[in-house]
């Protein structure tokens, strides 16, 4: 799994971030400085906690510079375990195939996982992983250059 993605967490309702994120997504390329970073920046600007998630600690300093208050290494079980059942919202901006289970496990009750990166392989998500805590898994294709260009 690459280390050039960010998934963001903030303690707010997703509808507060949606209009801002969709409007600004075209201005930023994927990867660092991309959609995940925008989620971190908006959450910080709104005064919310924002935790970056990446597959290694390579981007930790950069994430903190962008406004992240914490950092999780998704491939480190101890790092993930510290955040089990705690996030209200995760914006998954990973554009390649990856395991969604660590992200689902970090969602709290009624937490929302939003897939914004487009992976090719189907995600393996068990019903029991989401049902008991009423977790929500959703996604959007909004934000791609082709879909977002104004005519």
What pLDDT does 19 receive? Answer: 37
Task: Write out residues in the chain with pLDDT < 70, as ranges.
Answer: 1-33, 142-151
Tokens of 87: 């996030």
Q: Are 92 and 115 in contact (CB under 8 A)?
A: yes
Q: What is the pTM of this model?
A: 0.72
Query: How far, in Å, CA of 66 to CA of 134, rounded?
Result: 31
Check residue 46 and give its pLDDT: 84
- Residue 142 is predicted with a pLDDT of 65
pLDDT tens track for 86-116 = 999 888 888 888 889 999 999 999 999 988 8
Q: What is the pLDDT of residue 105?
A: 94
């Amino acid at each position: 799994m690459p280390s050039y993605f960010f998934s963001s967490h903030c303690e707010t309702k997703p509808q507060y971030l949606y209009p801002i994120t969709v409007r600004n997504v075209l201005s930023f390329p994927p990867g660092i400085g991309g959609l995940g970073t925008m989620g971190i920046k908006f959450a910080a600007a709104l005064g919310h906690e924002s935790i970056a998630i990446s597959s290694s600690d390579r981007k930790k300093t950069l994430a903190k510079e962008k406004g992240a208050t914490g950092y999780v290494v998704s491939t480190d079980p101890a790092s993930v375990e510290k955040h089990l059942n705690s996030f209200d919202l995760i914006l998954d901006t990973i554009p390649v195939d990856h395991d969604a289970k660590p992200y689902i496990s970090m969602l709290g009750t009624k937490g929302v996982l939003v897939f914004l990166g487009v992976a090719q392989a189907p995600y393996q998500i068990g019903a029991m992983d989401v049902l008991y805590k009423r977790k929500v898994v959703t996604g959007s294709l909004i934000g791609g250059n082709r879909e977002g260009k104004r005519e």
